[in-house]
Amino acid sequence: MRQGGLIIHPEELDEVWISELKRMEIPTLGLHPVGGADAADSFKAQIARSKDPHFRALVDQVTAAGIRVEHEMHALRYFLPASEFEKHPDWFRVDEKGERNPDRNCCVSNTDALDFIAERAAEAAKALYVGSSPSHRHFFWTDDSHDVFCHCKECSRLTPSEQQLKLMNAIASRLRKDDPLASQSFLAYDVCTEVPKKIEPADGVFLEVAPMNRDIHKPLSGSDDARNTARAKEIRELLACFGRENTKILDYWLDNSWFSGWKKPPKAFSPDVPVMKADIEFYHSLGIRDVTTFACYLGEDYRALYGLPDLGGFENMIR
């Protein structure tokens, strides 16, 4: 069975994208509400969108074509709103100044906080619409800011990767109470690319690698770019911890939101096909079959300016 897919913003999903997904025989469509400072509001909007009959009809068209629909988003500020800070300041992270701060993420050493977050994740898993063929995979990521993990006495003994894994273990365990087939990703991204050593993945936690800190115009493997060499080394090391079978790659070759500087209107886009091909061959050489790329900012507004986007033959590179 083919694996891999494309990830777009949910508001970009329309009849044209569905036609392209069918043409390309893309196995999986990921829907990614905007992250950054607006991630909690984007998540809330996606919950509301999941109740909208028009959106549900679009998802049904996708799944009727045999394409799985999944939701991938930065979730922590939605799961643990800052409004809880007054009642439960100990649920929130200690920042670099030694102060409890409701800005991002949480204190993973507080079991009540983990239980609260995991319960909210279980509610979200039921609310997000995926049509008639659920994949049972969930992608509830930590907050989208650089190194905003907890520095309390207990948490400071753990690396950011270990803090994230502890949190994902709690979410996966709760999801599996409702769905024994449920799984939750550990996102190797930003400062969470170091192999966790003090915390082991629980049943249902799988590796998702998003190597954003790279030169997108040079291959990860065999490149003279130090960042790319470091990412390739990290991926090999992470596979030794998490295994290859369920690992997913989330790369950026078709991510026009990146190439447009995350600002609209979108810029004209031309994929770097040789790099995409070399990277996918590298991932396949490691035994990773599930290879996905962001393909945001290529929706109706892009087509109105430039026509159908060139996707570089991505569909012929996955397997």
Taking only the tens place, the pLDDT of each residue in 116-151 is 999 999 999 999 999 988 999 999 999 988 879 999
pLDDT at 2: 83
Using the CB atoms, write b or e for 300-312: b if 16+ within 10 Å: eebeeeeeebebb
- Whole-number Å distance between alpha carbons of 44 and 42: 5
Of residues 287, 289, 191, 186, the one with CA closest to residue 242: 186
pLDDT at 273: 98
Q: What is the pLDDT along the chain (319 residues), one digit of tens a residue?
A: 789 999 999 999 999 999 999 999 999 999 999 988 889 999 999 999 999 999 999 999 999 999 999 999 999 999 999 999 999 999 999 999 999 999 999 999 999 999 999 999 999 999 999 998 899 999 999 998 887 999 999 999 999 999 999 999 999 999 999 999 999 999 999 999 999 999 999 999 999 999 999 999 999 998 899 999 999 999 999 999 999 989 999 999 999 999 999 999 999 999 999 999 999 999 999 999 999 999 999 999 999 999 999 999 999 999 8
Q: Look-up: residue for tokens 């025989």?
A: 25
Q: pTM for the complete prediction?
A: 0.96
pLDDT at 269: 96
Residue 22 CB burial class (10 angstroms; 0-12, 13-18, ≥19): middle
How many other CB atoms are there within 10 angstroms of residue 276's CB atom? 23
pLDDT at 145: 81
pLDDT at 42: 96
Secondary structure of 141-201 as H, E, C letters: ECCCCCCCCCCCCCHHHCCHHHHHHHHHHHHHHHHHHHCCCCEEEEEECCCCCCCCCCCCC
The answer to whether the beta carbons of residues 180 and 157 sit under 8 Å apart is no
Q: Look-up: residue for tokens 């039921």?
A: 126
Question: How far out from the chain centre does Cα 233 lie?
Answer: 21
pLDDT at 277: 97
pLDDT at 90: 98
